[in-house]
A = this chain, B = another copy of it.
Amino acid sequence: MKADKGRVDLRDVARLAGVSLGSASRAMNGAGASAATREKVERAAAALGWRPNHAAQALRSRLSRTVGCLLPDIGNPLYAQVFRALEDEFLALGYLPLLANGANDLERELRTLSMFMQRGMDGVILAPGNERSPELVEALRTLPMPAVVFDRELPGAHDSVVIDHAAGVRVAVERLMALGHRAIALVLWQGETRPVRRRIQGYKAAYAAAGLPVPELIVQAQSVTASAFEEIAELLARPARPTALIVQGTHMLNSALRAVASRGLRMPQDVSIVAIGDTAFARDHEPAVSVLTIDMADAARRLARLLVDRIAEPGLPARRERVELRYEERASVVPLHVEARPTARRR
């Protein structure tokens, strides 16, 4: 009997099963082995407690069964939702998802992509902070593995899943207009990203469709995590202040709520609010905040499916899928009170 090596490898399994190494490998991989052989090998593997060595499999087969997910910020509840859903999808498809925070930092994103290459990711889910960066575009172009872009518009042919922000914002604006609102502000950040551009586009489209001039009520904060408090407070101090606000994400919603309060205004009586993206914060706020919800589980399902399809068949033409926003009205949106004075407080 041979000296115990501590670890058990497939050779040990093959020996115990009384078959060759190659047969054992085939038996465990489901490819071309007789039922009898598979039976014996599986029994032996179980008896020895054999577990495939992932590094060896990856080295030999050139497949890591791992996908990289580069998202802007897992601290953002919306992206946390995406990653949780991606994890479930990829695990079910036999892939392990590896999460990295891009943090809206180009250098960091490039380093991460480079690390994904070195670690032999079979594919990548990508949502860069700045989609206008030539370096990022070039990095994507030269990436040796397939990538699926999430809610960004990057040059080049690649699969993508995009969120239909334009249609969503338009629905929200039209709903507010139906309630009598005309001065509706849009609060975003300055980022060079698809979501920002498309939201503005949907906003303008709603005014155009209503035959109204587009008001000068779009404010853009410095960064996605920056406060938009000053900008919104300034807006609310104007003689013709907005009576409704559509705000992007958790940070801007916080800013908006504080700005409204600081001007002595009340939500929803004086100002209606709609947030983009549903979170516990919006749901549980008192009064609850109306939202444009994004089905992140659906988005994740599409992302995962596109990526594994392309890994399996790299020659496929580029596909682009769209995820709709759904408007969910809560207590934060009410009809315009015509008697309301811009800065009046009712008691």
Q: Which residues on A are within 8 Å of B, measured CB to CB? A: 51-56, 58-59, 64, 73-75, 77, 80-81, 83-84, 87, 96, 98-101, 114-115, 117-120, 250-251, 254, 257-258, 261, 280-281, 283-284, 286
Do B254 and A284 have beta carbons less than 8 Å apart? Answer: yes
Q: List B contacts of A84 (CB < 8 A).
A: 73-75, 101
Docked Cα-Cα span, A84 to B37, in Å, equals: 47
Say which residue of B53, B101, B261 sits within 8 Å of A286 (CB atoms): B261
Say which residue of B64, B75, B87, B286 sits within 8 Å of A80 (CB atoms): B75
Instruction: Determine the residue in chain B with the shortest Cβ distance to A56.
Output: B59
Say which residue of B77, B118, B119, B120 sits within 8 Å of A77 (CB atoms): B77
Task: Please give the distance in Å from A7's CB to the nearest CB on chain B.
Answer: 9
Docked Cα-Cα span, A174 to B261, in Å, equals: 32
Q: List B contacts of A254 (CB < 8 A).
A: 280, 283-284
Given A258-B286, A280-B250, CB of A120 within 8 Å of CB of B75: no
Do A120 and B53 have beta carbons less than 8 Å apart? Answer: yes
Do A99 and B96 have beta carbons less than 8 Å apart? Answer: no
Do A119 and B99 have beta carbons less than 8 Å apart? Answer: no
Do B83 and A74 have beta carbons less than 8 Å apart? Answer: yes
